[in-house]
Structure 1
Amino acid sequence: MKQVCRKELKVATAESCTGGLLASLLTDIDGAGHGFDRGFVTYYDATAKQDLLGLTPEMTGRTRR
């Protein structure tokens, strides 16, 4: 995250089974607010990631129901 902030980049996460753990770990770092843009947690419903983030079924590992 320090390099992300230093380079003025942004990070976004899209998680399922981790329930937001990755976003939690990243935002736990001092100063991460400058580089962490947003996080999505959609637990089981792969269609939410497909609809909201434009991911394909192949990217999420699940097909639409």
Structure 2
Amino acid sequence: MPPKQNFFKVSGVLIQSKDASKQNFSMFVKAIDDNHAVILTRDYLKNNAPAGSSIIKGIEKIKE
């Protein structure tokens, strides 16, 4: 039986490398725990966001 997954709202700031501009972001992720949610979020941003860095500021577990 697979482990139970929950929904998490992950929010933070994207910092673009070319002009150091900052953009706030929030996204919902289905994950096993909060650490897994951060891993999934960083992987998604690495593949789909403009080049730069990300700072995770909040993780909120959504009620089931």
After TM superposition, the score normalised by the length of structure 1 is: 0.28
Q: Which structure's residues are more often strand, by fraction?
A: 2
Specify which structure has the higher proportion of helix.
1
Q: Which has the larger radius of gyration?
A: 1
